[in-house]
Structure 1
């Protein structure tokens, strides 16, 4: 593991997903899944998210579309929060999901709208 890239990834991951969530994920890791936490933090967040070619807001839009296409609602909810942290508005998230309805399928987009609405309601209650 590259400590410098891991630390950079940890900083980016915390800023997007929230320190509480990220720290809990790492603290709850055991010998079995810690290598995955390290891999995700170092390469996904440190190497790719840390590149200068795209702003975080654009990366969030891409993630919402790809996660919708893959139909991964748990990850989608996490990345809806991240997208809001990266400056996306609800209207921009809505547009991403409308776009995915055409290219990924209406059922996938409907599930994403449903998941995002749950996140918005949870966040509004806080």
Structure 2
């Protein structure tokens, strides 16, 4: 593990809506249980190398991530990136339009499945927001 790259990746993850690191720690623990060592690669490569690059802000990176995940049909990761997209400033309407846009390149099944996932993510987002207000 490269401590500097790992720390850089963790900083990006905290910036993306997990300032205390609890959600990230839980996700990384799950990855580590399934495939020892992979969590380090996720943090270092995905977030330390790619997400931390200059040229795009985190909101733009989330637009690209949501699009790609919707196309490949990766529901759990799509759900995660819809949440982080909203943390980085995307609105529900913008996310819906991103998913409508993919019909042109990926077809209706991919877009409709992704829109269903978005609905579930929005419901969880709203429920979480309501819980924080209580």
TM-score using structure 1 length? 0.91
Which residue of 16, 40, 43 corresponds with 1:41? 43
Gaps of at least 5 residues in structure 2 are 129-134
Q: Which secondary structure state, in structure 2, belongs to the residue aligned with residue 34 of structure 1? A: coil
- List per-residue Cα deviations over 1:64-97 (Å, max 9, x = no partner): 1100111111110010001001111111111110
Distance in 1, matches of 2:69 and 2:123, equals: 20
Equivalent in the alignment of 1:91: 93
Distance in 2, matches of 1:34 and 1:12, equals: 22
Distance in 1, matches of 2:35 and 2:112, equals: 32
Equivalent in the alignment of 1:24: 26
Structure 2 CA distance for partners of 1:111 and 1:17, relative to 1, 3 Å: farther
Gaps of at least 5 residues in structure 1 are none
Contact 1:65 1:97 survives alignment (8 Å): yes
Contact 1:26 1:34 survives alignment (8 Å): no
Contact 1:5 1:42 survives alignment (8 Å): yes
Distance in 1, matches of 2:71 and 2:85, equals: 17
- List per-residue Cα deviations over 1:53-74 (Å, max 9, x = no partner): 1100100000011001111111
Q: CA deviation at 1:17?
A: 5.6
Q: CA deviation at 1:26?
A: 2.6
Q: What is the number of residues matched between the two proteins?
A: 125
TM-score using structure 2 length? 0.86
